[in-house]
């Protein structure tokens, strides 16, 4: 586990979908530093099957050492986003970090995906991420070390990631395109990065998608909380990166990944959108702003024995169990 350094003390984080799962885990990690957390989520009343509300999350954040501001926000409603941003600035004096975590998923084929599901995924994943970023950016620009972090994958254009759930893939890559565009647009002002897990993560959504027993093939949300913490405590020059949790944590010196497993030793399920080993040196050069010439060189080093290029935009996922 990655220890807290206190670097987020007094920082204000605006986290969408922070009432449970990954969003809440990131919030609790920052709360241990004494950060202010804006819980921008839509669950105000207890859900019939899903645990947690914005108010129960607020209690946990305060107990962990942070300050919490629960706000009812459905990211499909622009006015709710704007109201929550205004309330955050009024309460805490500004916004330092935005985590676009709220997401909708339907792993269905084109003919099986109802229009309302298509609208939901596009509205929450792409439009919600875009509008929340837009609303927070004027405030982020005033921060000393501002970050936007989207929970979205490296853009792997292998058709296998489109054929079974085209709408979902388009919507998640839309979030990744926000990273690509905004990192460049606000370079030098605001860091914009993406974070994605190497393996499946155990959340209430995973239980619904995977069914009974799926958790043994998953890791805990803690691994993403540690990776997010690591990114958000870096300087704003660290921008435009598509980061895989395990790759980053290995670089940070974490060696024991069993602590993150639900069932240590059990084969883990690789996450979506990842299908080849990545070359971490190429990622590093990309991260730390290598020159175009250096990038060309790193590209030539990545030629396989047969001269074929190794894809660097996707991360390691050795098949280790049923996908």
Q: Mind telling me the catalytic residues?
A: 168
CB 113 within 8 A of CB 106: yes
Residue 243 main-chain phi, psi, to 5 deg:
-105, 135
Radius of gyration of the chain (CA): 19
Q: What is the largest CA-CA distance in the chain?
A: 59
Beta-bridged to residue 193, according to DSSP, are 149
- How far, in Å, CA of 161 to CA of 191, rounded? 28
Please give the structure tokens belonging to residue 278. 């990545």
- How far, in Å, CA of 202 to CA of 262, rounded? 8
Residue from 170, 178, 168 nearest 128 by CA: 178
Angle at 232 between CA 146 and CA 137, to 5 degrees: 25
Q: What 3-state DSSP class applies to 67? A: strand
CB 289 within 8 A of CB 237: yes
CB 12 within 8 A of CB 35: yes
Residue where the block lists tokens 């001269």: 307
| 252 DSSP 8-state letter | T
- How far, in Å, CA of 90 to CA of 82, rounded? 12
Task: Give Cα 195 to chain centroid, integer Å.
Answer: 4
Phi-psi sector, 314: left (phi>0), alpha (psi -120 to 50), beta: beta
List alpha helices for 38-77, DSSP H. 54-64
């Amino acid at each position: 586990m990655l220890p807290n350094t206190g670097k987020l003390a007094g920082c204000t984080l605006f986290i969408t979908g922070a009432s449970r799962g990954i969003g809440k885990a990131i919030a609790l990690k920052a709360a241990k530093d004494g950060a202010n957390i804006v819980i921008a989520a839509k669950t105000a009343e207890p859900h019939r099957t899903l645990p947690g509300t914005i108010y129960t999350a607020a209690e946990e954040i305060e107990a962990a050492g942070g300050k919490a501001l629960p706000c009812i926000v459905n990211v499909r409603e622009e006015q709710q986003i704007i109201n929550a941003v205004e309330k955050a600035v009024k309460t805490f004096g500004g916004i330092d970090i935005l985590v676009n975590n709220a997401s909708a998923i339907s792993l269905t084929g084109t003919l099986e995906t109802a229009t309302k599901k298509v609208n939901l995924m596009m509205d929450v994943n792409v439009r919600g991420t875009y509008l929340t970023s837009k609303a927070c950016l004027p405030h982020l620009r005033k921060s000393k070390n501002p970050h936007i972090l989207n929970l979205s994958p490296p853009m792997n254009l292998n058709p296998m990631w489109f054929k079974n759930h085209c709408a979902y893939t388009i919507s998640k890559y839309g979030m990744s395109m926000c990273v690509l565009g905004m990192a460049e647009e606000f370079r030098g002002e605001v860091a914009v990065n993406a974070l994605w897990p190497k393996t499946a993560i155990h959340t209430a959504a995973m239980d619904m998608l995977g069914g009974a027993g799926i958790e043994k093939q998953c890791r805990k949300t803690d691994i993403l909380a540690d990776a997010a913490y690591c990114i958000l405590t870096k300087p704003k020059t660290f921008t435009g990166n598509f980061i895989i949790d395990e790759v980053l944590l290995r670089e940070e010196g974490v060696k024991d990944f069993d602590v993150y497993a639900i069932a240590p030793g059990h084969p883990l399920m690789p996450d979506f959108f990842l299908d080849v080993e990545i070359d971490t040196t190429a990622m590093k050069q990309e991260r730390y702003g290598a020159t175009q010439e250096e990038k060309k060189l790193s590209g030539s080093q990545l030629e396989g024995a047969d001269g074929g290029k190794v894809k660097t935009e996707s991360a390691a996922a050795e098949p280790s169990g049923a996908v």
